[in-house]
Amino acid sequence: MKKLFIVGNWKSNKTIAEAKTWLLEISNFQFPISDKREIIICPPFLLIPEMKTFIDEYKLPLKLGVQNISPFGEGAYTGEVSARTAQEFVTHALVGHSERRHYFHETDEDVLAKIKQLLRYDLTPVLCISDMKQLAFYLKEDDVITANAGKIIFVYEPPDAISGGGAFHAIDLDTIDANTAEISKMIGKEVVTLYGGSVNPENAALIFGLEHVSGGLPGQASLDAETFAQIIHG
């Protein structure tokens, strides 16, 4: 049985009270943990310290990630959270999400700089890839991804497939399998690749069953604890 990684992307949702309710609810579902399932939640920054305290106190089998990280180190960069600060609370960080590229004009260069910052502080980049052209550009620009491929979780996430909080979109399993396989091929070795975009309890098992897919990045479906628990069961 392959190891699965389920990364919940909460985006800009929830208050601390709602986050705690979610944690209480999720702790009531028996989910298969062990070394075969890694569950990572990426909440808004401000929720993270209290969520970490709660997770530690109740020994919940959950890890935390940030949704964004500064491309710079520590210093005079108003409004940014550095990898050095984040590593006190989280183990993972989303990078290159298409919403950050679209709404906040993140460039390929920003994405590469963020990956370097994360690796410097032993944080695992969860690198979202919209299409193979984008990955080809990253690989041509810099060897940081190839050189550290074993420390990175890759996510094939076509922007058109993202629910955006609305209805889930139909998914094409053949395209998902082909593109996740292609990511390893382009990098030159087998890497951990997840799929993101409208992952929900109805399609999770089908997606996770694909040969080259090692889990998923649900957004909308991670907000409700019961729905998320169903995805974890796969």
Stretch of 23-31, 59-67, 110-118, 157-165 contacting ligand PGA, by CB under 6 A: 157-165
Per annotation, catalytic residue among 38, 97, 99, 212: 97
78 alpha carbon, distance to own chain's centre: 25
Whole-angstrom CA distances from 233 to 24, 222, 224 are: 18, 13, 15
CA distances from 26 to 13, 20, 135, 193 (A): 17, 10, 35, 25
Give the residue, chosen from 8, 9, 191, 194, that forms a contact with ligand PGA under the rule CB under 6 A. Answer: 9
Which run of H or of E encompasses 147?
Answer: helix 144-147
CB of 128 to ligand PGA, least distance (A): 7
Q: Taking contact as CB under 6 A, which single stretch among the options 63-71, 79-87, 212-220, 224-232 is the one that binds ligand PGA?
A: 212-220
User: Site for ligand PGA (CB under 6 A): which residue of 62, 127, 162, 225?
Assistant: 162
Report the distance separating Cα 93 and Cα 66, nearest Å.
5
CA atoms lying within 13 Å on the CB side of residue 194: 28
CA distance 126 to 119: 11
Nearer to ligand PGA, 164 or 188 (CB): 164
How many residues in the shown chain lie near ligand PGA by CB under 6 A?
A: 13
Q: Which of residues 46-105 bind ligand PGA (CB under 6 A)?
A: none
Residue number, 140 or 197, with CB nearest to ligand PGA: 197
Catalytic residues, by residue number, are 97, 157
